[in-house]
């Protein structure tokens, strides 16, 4: 089945008991044994497994072309399950800019357990591999990255890791946070990644009404470990969360197309406005690594970042003048959201790290929704034009 069909049908067969075409919300917390020592379809307790969650995990695995998916109550809970694979003394090499919540999880939670996190100079495969050592256990990457949308050639990095394994007899796992592209636009496992994570809160859910996360992979041994963690730690999504995520998935291909169209139009408009200093958008022909888009992606997500002329005062005035685009954290919803990374999504970065990563005080990140394109451009134009008296 093609992706659009999978989004509607994968893991979503009609109920065998009553023919319901929508996967029901199973609110049961515990399940009666058919007989002593004999569970019904391996259902015992809802923290361990639940019909709604099983259906969602089947759908998510099929969307990424994978054997296994393990869902969690949030993207951060999903990331925590992967980091739980590490032992004291292990090292994690990361791309130069990553989501602020991931940075906080690395440095404020897991660092105290003796795990070392090393940041590459850029998002290139060469830069990441240059940081490898005998203790490298995980390579953690985002592509496009958050918030500068830097691109990484996943296949090239996977090949370099394979060569490193052969030389050093080490086995670092390549983890790709695929939240920005979603499985509609990019499938890292097919390119050589070992583990894929998503904040399902974003494009997968798509309506800013549910929190969730998932780990997707093919390796049976790693799946057993993460599945064990899911049950033991208990950070699982509720049946209603699973229902909402699965409902959102049905329109994922349609939404991603409109998100990308709006992002392309807004990025080109921003690039031509006198009060915009720089625009970060992988769709530009001169964007660093632009050729990677055609190599490993089927389109562009609805994300654009840009630097406004001026500083915090101009940023504040610009936000106040917007009428359609909403100032809020998160991304991937049907409504357009805008944020100030330095004080919002990436506030957990120390000032020195913000400077190193290029998260400047005048940097703005936009998640384009599915509103009318002309309305969005008019909103940006009016807000940017209001800065004329200040600049």
- Which residues carry out catalysis? 47, 99, 177, 202
Structure tokens at 152: 């990484």
Q: Residue 197 CB: number of other CB atoms within 10 A?
A: 26
Q: What CA–CA distances, in Å, run from 373 to 140, 188, 235?
A: 34, 30, 38
Mention every residue, 6+ apart, whose C-beta is less than 8 A from residue 376. Answer: 262, 265, 266, 324, 325, 336, 368, 369
CA nearest to 237, candidates 207, 215, 252, 206: 215
Residue 369 CA to residue 332 CA, distance in Å, equals 7
Q: Are 226 and 66 in contact (CB under 8 A)?
A: no
Q: Are 214 and 74 in contact (CB under 8 A)?
A: no
Q: Residue 291 CB: number of other CB atoms within 10 A?
A: 12
Structure tokens at 241: 């969360």
80 phi-psi bin (left φ>0, alpha ψ -120 to 50, beta other): alpha
Angle at 358 between CA 352 and CA 361, to 5 degrees: 80
Q: What CA–CA distances, in Å, run from 294 to 157, 180, 237, 299, 300?
A: 17, 16, 35, 8, 10
Q: Are 306 and 379 in contact (CB under 8 A)?
A: no
Mention every residue, 6+ apart, whose C-beta is less than 8 A from residue 63. Answer: 3, 6, 7, 10, 183, 184, 249
Q: What CA–CA distances, in Å, run from 166 to 3, 94, 138, 170, 300?
A: 35, 21, 16, 8, 34
């Amino acid at each position: 089945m093609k992706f659009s069909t999978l989004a509607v049908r994968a893991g979503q067969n009609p109920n065998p008991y009553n023919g319901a075409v929508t996967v029901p919300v199973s609110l049961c917390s515990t399940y009666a044994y058919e007989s002593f020592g004999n569970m019904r379809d391996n259902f015992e307790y809802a923290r361990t497994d639940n019909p709604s969650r099983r259906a969602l995990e089947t759908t998510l695995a099929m969307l990424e072309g994978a054997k296994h998916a393990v869902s969690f109550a949030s993207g951060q809970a999903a990331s925590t399950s992967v980091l739980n694979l590490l032992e004291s003394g292990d090292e994690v090499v990361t791309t130069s800019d990553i989501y602020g919540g991931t940075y906080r999880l690395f440095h404020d939670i897991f660092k105290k357990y003796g795990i070392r996190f090393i940041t590459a100079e850029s998002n290139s495969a060469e830069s990441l591999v240059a940081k490898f050592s005998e203790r490298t256990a995980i390579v953690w990457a985002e592509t496009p990255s958050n918030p500068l949308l830097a691109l990484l050639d996943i296949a090239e990095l996977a090949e370099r890791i394979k060569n490193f394994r052969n030389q050093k007899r080490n086995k670092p796992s390549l983890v790709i946070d695929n939240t920005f592209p979603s499985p509609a636009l990019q499938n890292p496992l097919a390119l050589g990644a070992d583990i894929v994570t998503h904040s399902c809160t974003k494009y997968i859910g798509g309506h800013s009404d549910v929190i969730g996360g998932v780990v997707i992979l093919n390796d049976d041994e790693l799946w057993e470990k993460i599945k064990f963690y899911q049950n033991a730690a208990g950070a699982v999504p509720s049946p209603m969360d699973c229902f909402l995520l699965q409902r959102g998935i049905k329109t994922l291909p349609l939404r991603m197309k409109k998100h990308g169209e709006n992002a392309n139009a807004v990025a080109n408009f921003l690039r031509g406005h006198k009060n915009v200093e720089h625009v970060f958008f992988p769709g530009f022909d001169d964007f660093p690594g632009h050729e990677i888009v055609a190599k490993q992606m089927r389109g562009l997500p609805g994300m654009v970042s840009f630097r406004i002329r001026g500083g915090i005062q101009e940023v504040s005035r610009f936000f106040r003048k917007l009428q359609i685009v909403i100032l809020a954290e998160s991304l991937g919803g049907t409504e357009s959201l805008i944020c100030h990374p330095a004080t919002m999504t990436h506030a957990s970065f120390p000032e020195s790290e913000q400077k190193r990563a290029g998260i400047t005080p005048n940097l703005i990140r936009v998640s384009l929704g599915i509103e009318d394109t002309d309305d969005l451009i008019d909103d940006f134009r009016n807000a940017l034009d209001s800065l004329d008296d200040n600049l």
